[in-house]
Amino acid sequence: MLNWARALAPLVARILTLIALDLVMPGASSCQSADADEGLLQEALARRLGGKLRWGGDVEGGAPFQVRDPQDPRRVIGFEVELAALLAKSLSAQAGAAIEPEFVQYEWVSLPLGLEKKDFDCIVSGFEITPDRRRQFLFTRPYYQYALQLVVRQDERRIHQLKDCQSYAVGTLSGTAAERLLVSAGVRDIVGFDGQVEPYLDLELGRLDAVLLDLPIAIFYARDNPKLKFLDERLAPGYYGIALRHDDAVLHAALNRALGEIFASGEWARVLRRWQLFDPSQSALAAQPHRALELAGLGFDDAGNALPSTGEEQEPVEAVTVAGAGRKWTFSEYAPLLIAAAGMTLFLSTASMLLAVTL
Report the pLDDT value the prediction gives residue 25, as an integer from 0 to 100.
Answer: 38
pLDDT band for position 318 (cuts 50, 70, 90): confident
Give the residue with greater pLDDT, 314 vs 211.
Answer: 211
pLDDT band at 167 (very low <50, low <70, confident <90, very high): very high
User: 228's torsion region: left (phi>0), alpha (psi -120 to 50) or beta?
Assistant: beta
Please tell me the predicted confidence (pLDDT) of residue 232: 80
With a cut of 60, say whether residue 86 has pLDDT above it: yes
Task: Give the pLDDT score at 347.
Answer: 66
Local confidence band at 62 (pLDDT 50, 70, 90 cut-offs): confident
- Residues whose CB is less than 8 angstroms from the CB of residue 278 and which lie 6 or more positions away in sequence, other chains included: 269, 272, 299
Residue 295: predicted pLDDT: 98
Give me the chain's average pLDDT, please: 85
- Please give the pLDDT value at position 21: 34
pTM of the model: 0.80
Among the listed residues 208, 163, 213, the one whose alpha carbon sits nearest the alpha carbon of residue 184: 163
Contact 236, 177 (CB under 8 A): yes
pLDDT of residue 144: 98
Whether 152 shows a pLDDT value over 90: the answer reads: yes
Decide if pLDDT at 340 tops 70.
Answer: no
Statement: residue 287 has pLDDT above 80:
yes
Determine the average pLDDT of the residues in 174-202: 94
Position 106 pLDDT exceeds 80: yes
Number of neighbouring beta carbons within 10 Å of residue 75: 10
Asked whether residue 10 carries a pLDDT value surpassing 50, the answer given is no
pLDDT of residue 73: 87
Question: Widest CA span of the chain, in angstroms?
Answer: 82
Q: Report the Cα 258 to chain-centroid distance in Å.
A: 14
Size (the chain), residues: 359
Which residues have C-beta within 8 Å of that of residue 133, sequence separation ≥ 6?
Answer: 112, 127, 139, 243
Q: What is the average per-residue pLDDT within 267-293? A: 96
Reported confidence tier of residue 308, pLDDT bands at 50, 70, 90: confident
With CA atoms as reference, report the closest residue to 95 among 137, 53, 140: 53
pLDDT score recorded for residue 329: 44
Predicted pLDDT at 58: 94
Q: Which residue has the higher pLDDT, 319 or 227?
A: 227
- C-alpha distance from residue 149 to each of 22, 177, 213, 221, 303 (Å): 60, 11, 6, 12, 27
Asked which of 16-20, 193-197, 244-248 is least confident by mean pLDDT, the reply is 16-20
Q: Among 15-24, 97-106, 332-341, which stretch is predicted with the lowest mean pLDDT?
A: 15-24
Asked if 151 contacts 170 with a C-beta cutoff of 8 angstroms, the reply is no
> What average pLDDT does this structure show over 154-173?
96
According to the model, what pLDDT value does residue 27 have? 45
pLDDT cut 90: percent of the chain above it:
68
Spacing of C-alpha 263 from chain mean position = 15
Average pLDDT over residues 228-252: 95
Section 249-274 average pLDDT? 97
- Taking the C-alpha atoms of residue 138 and residue 132, their distance in angstroms, rounded to an integer, is 11
Q: Which helix (H) or strand (E) holds 139?
A: strand 138-139
* pLDDT at 356 (0 to 100): 76
Tell me how far CA of residue 120 lies from CA of 67, 78, 116, 213, 251, in angstroms.
Answer: 19, 19, 9, 26, 12
